[in-house]
């Protein structure tokens, strides 16, 4: 067994084990991928302040996200098609998160359904909602999430229309994969993945197939999805969905202070500063660079979380020190899942936890609540002088 010391180790194994179309689906951003790249490279511009002779005994990374206790403020982000990265992927990831003590967020576009994940887990998870034109379907989806005792609704706002990722079009991405000469040739080299997939019934979009009239196969579903995301979503509709849900609401995809103020107005419990991991508006700024202006606008009135670009515990530390009160990992846990299933997600969380803990200690901090900009060296022009 390979010695896994960093997230990149998991990524290398992931690339070997999972069919190319699903690796490419994860490892791409929209159009030129500028935002995708800068999400990670902008973290590198922030440097850490080494401090010494501070008693570092009794350290803890524990904290809270929307009032829930967490082992560290790092949730698993909603990732569509997770069950194509590894058989029963959503169940495996949810179990790893539950055991580790961090929140798991199930995507609307998951392979395993809300009910299937609820059946195999013991703690409430969060459900991510894509708003669809079919309001009745959205209502039923919300009822299903309630029935499954999901403890937060994460409403994604930055995907009313799909950003173009070139590789997905070239690969003919579908779930399950369509059997063309190219996919068959690639699948032949991924036999462990294939055998595991044969062992599960969860191979289509579990929240959708069987829950919408006229949808029985994946080909129909692809067309239906493209047609169904709601381009007319606005703050009024968000307020209605919040009321329908009646529980904690997190608004995901906020990248601008003005939108953060609107999120506050509709009464969200938290926002996620996010550009969807660079998969939507290419050319948008990285999340970490937009964080300061959003914190200035609403930081003292609402929980501000961040995702996009986090690949290490040091990135988590930087986001928290900049002022975020929670973070999410998308690709970092998918690498682990594709590489080694549930154990791989656990390993990804362990790696990030250790990096966070050791970095905190070397910065002279013992608990999450002590983290502030004191820990960082931020270049003067970090967020830039844009107009
Ligand atoms: C393969 C993939 C699929 C995703 N699917 C969804 C989704 O279904 N719903 C959603 O709100 N965000 C989705 N996202 C965005 C993630 O929730 C998150 O914002 C992003 O992954 C964070 O960036 P990171 O991957 O650099 O950590 C997806 C991201 C990836 C990489």
Which pLDDT band, with edges at 50, 70 and 90, does 221 fall under? low
For the residues 344-366, what does the mean pLDDT come to? Answer: 98
Pair 153, 247: CB distance under 8 Å: yes
Give the distance (Å) from ligand 1 centre to CA of residue 50.
33
Q: What is the pLDDT of residues 268-319, one digit of tens each?
A: 999 999 999 999 999 999 999 999 999 999 999 999 999 999 999 999 999 9
Partners of 68 in the β-ladder: 65
Q: Do β-strands 376-377 and 47-48 pair in parallel, antiparallel, or remain unpaired?
A: antiparallel
Q: What CA–CA distance (Å, rounded) separates 86 from 192?
A: 10
Give the distance (Å) from ligand 1 centre to CA of residue 155.
13
Ligand 1 proximity of 331 Cβ (cutoff 6 Å): yes
Q: What is the pLDDT of residues 232-251, one digit of tens each?
A: 999 999 999 999 999 999 99
Instruction: Give 266's contacts (C-beta < 8 A, 6+ positions apart).
Output: 235, 238, 239, 242, 251
Ligand 1 proximity of 77 Cβ (cutoff 6 Å): yes
Q: What is the pLDDT of residues 118-141, one digit of tens each?
A: 999 999 999 999 999 999 999 999
Q: What is the pLDDT of residues 166-198, one digit of tens each?
A: 999 999 888 888 888 988 988 889 999 999 999
For the residues 367-382, what does the mean pLDDT come to? Answer: 96
Q: What is the pLDDT of residue 188?
A: 86
Which of ligand 1's atoms lies nearest the C-alpha of 27?
A: 31
Ligand 1 proximity of 92 Cβ (cutoff 6 Å): no
Instruction: Give 272's contacts (C-beta < 8 A, 6+ positions apart).
Output: 154, 250, 251, 252, 253, 254, 305, 306, 307, 328
Ligand 1 proximity of 307 Cβ (cutoff 6 Å): yes
Ligand 1 proximity of 280 Cβ (cutoff 6 Å): no
Provide the 10 A C-beta neighbour count for residue 236: 8
Give the distance (Å) from ligand 1 centre to CA of residue 79.
5
Give the distance (Å) from ligand 1 centre to CA of residue 59.
31
Residue 1 has pLDDT above 80, yes or no: no
Pair 117, 96: CB distance under 8 Å: no
CB-side neighbour CA atoms (13 Å) of 290 = 26
Partners of 376 in the β-ladder: 48
Q: What is the pLDDT of residues 56-73, one digit of tens each?
A: 999 999 999 999 999 999
Q: What is the pLDDT of residue 8?
A: 98
**What is the rounded (10 degree) CA torsion for 330, 334, 335, 338?**
-170
276: annotated active-site residue: yes
DSSP state, residue 281: S
Which pLDDT band, with edges at 50, 70 and 90, does 209 fall under? confident
Q: What is the pLDDT of residue 277?
A: 98
């Amino acid at each position: 067994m390979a010695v896994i010391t960093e997230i990149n180790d998991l990524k290398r194994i992931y690339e070997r084990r999972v069919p190319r179309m699903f690796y490419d689906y994860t490892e791409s951003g929209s159009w030129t991928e500028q935002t995708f790249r800068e999400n990670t490279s902008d973290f590198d511009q922030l440097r850490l302040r080494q401090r010494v002779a501070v008693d570092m005994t009794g350290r803890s990374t524990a904290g809270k996200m929307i009032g829930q206790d967490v082992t560290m403020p790092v949730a698993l982000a909603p990732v569509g098609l997770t069950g194509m990265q590894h058989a029963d992927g959503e169940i495996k990831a949810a179990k790893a998160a539950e055991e580790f003590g961090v929140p798991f967020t199930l995507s609307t576009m998951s392979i395993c359904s809300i009910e299937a994940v609820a059946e195999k887990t013991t703690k409430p998870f969060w459900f991510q909602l894509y708003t669809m034109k079919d309001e009745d379907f959205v209502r039923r989806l919300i009822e299903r999430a309630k029935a499954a005792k999901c403890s937060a609704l994460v409403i994604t706002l930055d995907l009313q229309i799909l950003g173009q990722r070139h590789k997905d079009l070239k690969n003919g991405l579908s779930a399950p994969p369509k059997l063309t000469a190219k996919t068959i040739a690639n699948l032949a080299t991924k036999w462990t993945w294939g055998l595991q997939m044969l062992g599960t019934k969860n191979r289509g979009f579990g929240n959708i197939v069987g829950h919408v009239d006229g949808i029985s196969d994946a080909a129909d579903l692809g067309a239906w999805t493209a047609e169904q995301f709601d381009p007319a979503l606005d703050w009024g509709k968000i307020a209605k969905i919040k009321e329908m849900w009646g529980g904690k609401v997190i608004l995901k995809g906020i990248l601008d202070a003005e939108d953060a103020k609107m999120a506050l107005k509709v009464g969200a419990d938290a926002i996620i500063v996010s550009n969807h991991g660079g998969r939507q508006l290419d050319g948008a700024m990285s999340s970490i660079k937009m964080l300061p202006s959003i914190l200035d606008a609403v930081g003292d009135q609402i929980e501000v979380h961040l995702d996009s670009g986090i690949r290490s515990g040091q990135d988590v530390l930087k986001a928290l020190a900049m002022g975020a009160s929670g973070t999410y990992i998308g690709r970092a846990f998918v690498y682990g899942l594709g590489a080694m299933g549930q154990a791989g997600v656990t390993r990804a969380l362990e790696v990030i936890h250790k990096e966070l803990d050791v970095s905190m200690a070397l910065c002279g901090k013992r608990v999450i609540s002590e983290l502030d900009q004191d820990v960082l060296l931020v270049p003067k022009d970090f967020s830039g002088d844009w107009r």
